[in-house]
């Protein structure tokens, strides 16, 4: 190991972990290590990645360079995509679909380190590639995944509907998954889609205004309010679908989707039960440490450029001022009213949920919910699930969520977690 690289690892390993993560998984650089745990390690589930492929790519990355991260993961995605094409041409449609899913994961991982200021072309190229591969998987894969367009303003909101069966005229319970600020609708497969259809649920998701995918695909569709109209539009859409039982709609939100789920819970009582992972009272206060980003390294700056851009803040000439606008003027409107919640509500959070403020707000939200069918579940270090939204233990998170939904599927009794 060269002296410069050793010196970098020495200092990077002592940098504060990304909020919500505590343990080092592979990289000394905290941002890259958090991304590595989230993607692609979690994608090994459901055939979305391979251990050998992951560590082969990781060994080639110079973690001092975000370009190295993007280039190496993109190269692996391209290799798998070409393999998928060859398999398809040879008549092996299932093998082709599974290779496409792994290619999706590696393109998705490459996409994480791009932003609209320093790597605009790479951001668009990686997104186009991941979308292309996921659609290839939906066409020949083992699961029924239908691309959908939820009516909203002129452009609509793009997403997916996953179903246990194709067009069998059976009304089924349906989960609306609300994604986070850094997730896209394709990620639904791992968070709850595959497990949902295995348990007999339809599962749906759409990219909303304020989501990164929406700003890429529909740049004029910028968030102009706390998201109320777009949230209600998704419920309206599901209630009109022929395979959806409108009396058995469940909502699950993660990260910023936890805010969305908590917000929707106070606005609309059409859902059977809701899980917020984790609910926020005031997103600006939970995420106030973002104000420190101008003093951090370029990877943090790239994350900030991207986050501001997706919420419609396009002027990054003064990073400090733009960050203040994001935290105060955008996230400052993201507030919830727990006293208005009347449906069964589960507060789910990791023990290290975005620092002390994230966990404090989740617990206070739970305390103030007046519903007589509410529960709180804080996952812990001892369970290997202390991270933000249980990013280090997806199976446990899914177990908790689906057991809660099943407890409220046929009755209104309180469910255990």
205 within some domain:
yes
User: Are 132 and 150 found together in one domain?
Assistant: no
List all residues 6 or more positions away from 75 whose beta carbon is below 8 Å from its beta carbon.
57
Crossing angle for the helix pair 93-111 and 120-140, nearest 10 degrees? 160
124 and 219 both lie in a single domain: no
By mean pLDDT, which of 60-64, 75-79, 199-203 is the weakest? 60-64
- Cβ atoms of 8 and 65 within 8 Å: the answer is no
Question: Is 314 inside a domain boundary?
Answer: no
- 294 is a domain residue: no
Does residue 55 lie in a domain region? yes
> Is the CB of residue 77 less than 8 Å from the CB of residue 122?
no
| Mean pLDDT lowest among 12-21, 34-43, 97-106, 218-227 | 12-21
Is the same domain home to 358 and 256?
yes
Residue 7 has a pLDDT of 37
- The two beta strands, 273-277 and 202-206, are unpaired
Q: Are residues 192 and 234 in the same domain?
A: yes
At residue 311's C-alpha, the angle toward residues 307 and 316, to 5°, is 60
- Report pTM: 0.92
Pairing of strands 157-163, 144-150: antiparallel
**Coil/strand/helix, residue 353:** coil
Tokens representing residue 384 in the block = 């290997």
Residues with Cβ within 8 Å of residue 310, at least 6 apart in sequence: 181, 210, 211, 212, 214, 215
Integer CA distances (angstroms), 381 to 21, 352, 357, in order: 11, 8, 18
Locate 323 and state its tokens. 């960050």
Bigger pLDDT: 75 vs 15: 75
Full residue range of the structural domain in which residue 267 is found: 144-282+334-407
Confidence bin at 249 (pLDDT 50/70/90): very high
Residue 212, exposed/middle/buried by CB under 10 A (0-12, 13-18, 19+)?
Answer: buried
pLDDT number for residue 297: 75
Residue 4 has pLDDT above 80, yes or no: no
> Do residues 358 and 258 both lie within one domain?
yes
Percent of the chain residues past pLDDT 70, beyond the cut = 93
Residue 396: exposed, middle, or buried by beta-carbon count in 10 A (0-12, 13-18, 19+)? middle
Q: Does 12 have pLDDT greater than 50?
A: no
pLDDT of residue 209: 95
CATH of the domain at 121: 1.20.1440.110
Structural domains in the chain (count): 2
**Residue 25 pLDDT > 70:** no
Residue 130 CA to residue 110 CA, distance in Å, equals: 9
Domain shared by 165 and 272, yes or no: yes
Of the two residues 354 and 185, the one the predictor is more confident about is 185
Answer whether residue 181 is part of any domain.
yes
323 inside domain: no
**Bridge-partner residues for 220, per DSSP?**
none
pLDDT grade for 23, boundaries at 50, 70 and 90: low
Where does residue 9 rank: exposed (0-12), middle (13-18), buried (19+ CB within 10 A)?
middle
Domain boundary at 115, 136, 157, which? 136
- Residue 414, pLDDT above cutoff 50: no
Same domain assignment for residues 376 and 242: yes
Please provide the average confidence, as pLDDT, over all residues in the chain: 91
Asked whether residue 251 is domain-assigned, the answer is yes
pLDDT band of 411, cuts 50, 70, 90: low
Q: How far apart are CA 209 and CA 211, in angstroms?
A: 5
Tell me, what's the pLDDT at 9?
45
Residue 20 has pLDDT above 90, yes or no: no
Residue 48, in any domain of the structure: yes
Q: Say yes or no to pLDDT of 336 above 60.
A: yes
Range in 192-201, 245-254, 297-306, 325-334 with the lowest mean pLDDT = 297-306
Query: Among 87, 102, 136, where does a domain finish?
Result: 136
The CATH number linked to 224 is 3.40.50.1820
- Sheet containing 157-163: which strands, arranged edge to edge? 144-150, 157-163, 202-206, 172-178, 244-254, 273-277, 345-350, 374-379
Could you tell me if 238 and 118 lie in one domain?
no
CA within 13 Å, CB half, 85: 8
Residue 303 is predicted with a pLDDT of: 86
Together in a domain, 235 and 348: yes
**Taking 60 as the threshold, does the pLDDT of residue 258 lie above it?**
yes
- Give the model confidence (pLDDT) of 123-159 as tens digits: 999 999 999 999 999 999 999 999 999 999 999 999 9
Domain boundary among 136, 164, 189: 136
Instruction: Tell whether 62 and 206 lie within a shared domain.
Output: no
State whether 41 and 189 are in the same domain. no
* Residue 261 and residue 154 share a domain: yes
Mean pLDDT of 301-310: 91
Four-CA torsion 279, 251, 210, 129, nearest 10 degrees? 120
pLDDT of residue 1: 56
- How far the first Cα of the chain sits from its last, in Å, is 48
Residue 346 phi, psi dihedral angles, 5° rounding: -110, 120
């Amino acid at each position: 190991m060269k002296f410069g690289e050793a010196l970098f690892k020495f200092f990077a390993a002592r940098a504060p972990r990304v909020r919500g993560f505590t343990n080092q998984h592979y990289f000394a650089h905290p941002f890259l290590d958090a991304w590595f745990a989230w993607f692609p390690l979690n994608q090994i589930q459901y055939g979305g990645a391979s251990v050998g492929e992951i560590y082969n790519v990781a060994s080639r990355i110079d973690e001092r360079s975000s370009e190295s991260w993007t280039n190496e993961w993109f190269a692996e995605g391209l290799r798998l995509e070409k393999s998928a094409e060859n398999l398809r041409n040879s008549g092996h449609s299932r093998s082709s679909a599974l290779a496409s899913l792994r290619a999706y994961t590696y393109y998705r991982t490459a996409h994480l380190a791009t932003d609209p200021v320093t790597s605009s072309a790479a951001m668009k190229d990686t997104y186009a590639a991941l979308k292309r591969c996921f659609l290839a998987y939906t066409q020949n894969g083992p699961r029924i995944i239908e691309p959908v367009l939820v009516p909203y303003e002129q452009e609509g909101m793009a997403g997916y509907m996953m179903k246990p069966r194709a067009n069998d005229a059976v009304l089924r319970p349906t989960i609306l998954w609300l994604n986070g600020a850094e997730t896209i609708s394709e990620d639904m497969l791992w968070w709850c889609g595959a497990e949902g259809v295995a348990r007999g649920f339809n599962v749906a998701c759409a990219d909303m205004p304020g989501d990164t995918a929406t700003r890429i695909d529909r740049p004029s569709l910028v968030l102009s309010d706390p998201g109320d109209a777009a949230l209600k539009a998704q419920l309206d859409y599901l209630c009109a679908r022929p395979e959806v039982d409108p009396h058995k709609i469940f909502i699950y939100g993660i990260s910023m989707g936890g805010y969305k789920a908590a917000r929707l819970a106070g606005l609309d009582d059409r859902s059977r039960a809701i899980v917020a992972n984790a609910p926020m009272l005031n997103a600006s206060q939970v995420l106030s440490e973002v104000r420190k980003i101008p003093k951090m390294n370029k990877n943090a700056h790239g994350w900030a450029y991207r986050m501001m851009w997706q919420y419609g803040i396009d002027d990054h000439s003064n990073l400090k001022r733009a960050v203040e606008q994001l935290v105060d003027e955008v996230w400052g409107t993201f507030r919830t009213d727990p006293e208005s919640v009347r449906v069964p509500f589960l507060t789910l959070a990791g023990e290290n949920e975005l620092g002390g403020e994230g966990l404090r707000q989740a617990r206070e939200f739970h305390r103030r919910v007046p519903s007589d069918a509410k529960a709180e579940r804080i996952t812990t270090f001892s369970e290997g699930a202390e991270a933000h939204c249980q990013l280090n233990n997806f199976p446990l998170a899914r177990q908790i969520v689906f057991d809660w939904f099943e407890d409220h599927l046929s009755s209104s009794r309180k469910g255990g977690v």
